[in-house]
Amino acid sequence: MTVVTRFAPSPTGYLHVGGARTALYSWLFAKNQGGEFVLRIEDTDIERSTDEAKQAILDGMQWLGLTWDTGPVYQTDRFDRYKALIQQLLDEGKAYKCFMSAEELDAIREQQKAHGEKPRYPGTWRDRTDHPEGQPYVVRFKTPLEGEVVIKDHIRGTITVANSELDDLIILRSDGTPTYNFCVVVDDWDMGITHVVRGEDHVNNTPRQINILKALGAPIPEYAHVSMILGDDGKKLSKRHGAVSVMQYRDDGYLPQALMNYLVRLGWSHGDQEIFSQQEMIELFSLDAIGQSASAFNTEKLIWLNQHYIKSLPAEDVAEHAKWHFEQLGIDVSNGPALEAVIGIQADRVKTLKELAEISRYFYEEYEEFDEKAAKKHLRPVAKEPLEQVKVNLLALTDWNPEAIQQAINTTAESLGVGMGKVGMPLRVAVTGSGNSPSLDITLNLLTKGQIEQRIDKALTYIANRENS
Ligand code: GLU
């Protein structure tokens, strides 16, 4: 048997982290089993589905690297198939037309509530044949009156639901559109889904879906209902807690590798291991090791993972994602050192790619103004001579590499009889515009002599203006 899993989002908003984690689990299980992963867009709710949301889901999945083998399949393209099967169930007497008006149904529900009963459709039209001509109707599924549905959920264990608890659910609305529960069933069947991994908010739908699958003569997939994600205050994760959209994490400077590692651990574990490469996740993943309790989102841990991946992934991989952030800031990275080289020396100074781009601007363009505090402190009249001298020594270098650059700085300090800091700090502020940078030898090495000359001159002008004012 080939394992086939799916992710089936409704395109009514962005791809949120809860959905992304479900998608990840579903994807990992397929990969672990050498199976296939289907992306299905559940857009039957035409009022609430938007093209932007569809695109946002595809963008989010692509950014995370959750590639699909089949899809995206859109449910709205499959209405004919759903309707044909509804007709088949009607013909077989496994579904029926219900002509009860909304008002009538409401009245019954009110009565039930008044008697302390669970509101449910009482099966009024289940066996009636006196169908009124030309009246609107819905089609309801004939839920078996007896027996029970037993679900062996990979996460939640055995769940047993008596059929007497379930009423005859609507599978075709009066406007002729099939309902969510019916479409899911047909799709899971047609797409050969062997394992349904989805949010626990669907656990109540599962017995209904199993009954329909049985009525259609379709095989029953296995189920794994994943718990919710909570915010740090124990409430359901929502916008109040900060970013919940996957693409917001991209915008905030997270690597997809970090978010994936974070999400896989949010509810799944393998001993006390925290760091998982994608290959390891695939090899080690199992549905049965997913925890039952809800998990709380912990931004600190995500930041920690992000830092880890920025530092430890090959610079090319980081560059692939960092480039976008430089572009967002309007920095042209084709005009300067290779991004990989900048990442090589800046990686351990940042938590996010956004920060990386922000603190690396000086490699690609002239900064506009000196950091005020740093300039006040280090670009003073006493720095004039060291700057002039170090400029001469740097420009005289024939080899341009960190050792030679360091040597030029050392020689300057020695010849002036001052400590290294008296040369280094003014030079740092002159070249980078601020008092913070990686060590000067590797920083200057990524710039050209021309840039350095120009920036030292700018610092000298600043000092001169200061003397005169
Ligand atoms: N479309 C449903 C949702 O977005 C998921 C249905 C399913 O996975 O069966 O919540």
> According to the model, what pLDDT value does residue 467 have?
77
Atom of ligand 1 nearest to the CA of 12: 4
Quick one: pLDDT band at residue 458, thresholds 50, 70, 90? Answer: very high
Pocket lined around ligand 1, Cβ cut-off 6 Å: 8-10, 42, 184, 198, 202
The top-level CATH class assigned to 369-469 is mainly alpha
Q: Identify which of 5, 6, 7, 10 to mutate to test ligand 1's pocket (most ligand atoms within 8 A of the CB).
A: 10
Looking at the structure, give the CATH architecture of the domain made up of residues 314-365: Orthogonal Bundle (1.10)
Mean pLDDT of 106-113: 94
Mean pLDDT of 401-420: 97
Closest protein CA for atom 7 of ligand 1: 8
| Residue 235: predicted pLDDT | 87
Radius of gyration, alpha carbons of the chain: 32
pLDDT at position 237 is 85
**Alpha carbon distance 168, 186 (integer Å):** 18
The alpha carbon of 8 and the centre of ligand 1 are apart by a number of angstroms equal to 5
* pLDDT tens sequence across 127-175: 999 999 999 999 999 999 999 999 999 999 999 999 999 999 999 999 9
Closest CA to 94 of 217, 220, 221: 217
Catalytic residues: 239
- Does domain 1-73+180-312 fall under CATH 3.40.50.620? My reply is yes
- Residue 245 binned pLDDT confidence (cut-offs 50, 70, 90): very high
Q: What is the pTM of this model?
A: 0.92
Classify the C-alpha dihedral 208-210-212-215 as positive or negative.
negative
CA of 58 relative to ligand 1 center, distance in Å? 16
Annotated domain spans of the chain: 1-73+180-312, 314-365, 369-469
**Closest atom of ligand 1 relative to the 184 alpha carbon:** 9
pLDDT > 90? residue 100: yes
The rounded Å distance from CA 40 to ligand 1 centre is: 9
Residue 468 pLDDT exceeds 90: no
**Residue 234 confidence (pLDDT) above 90:** no
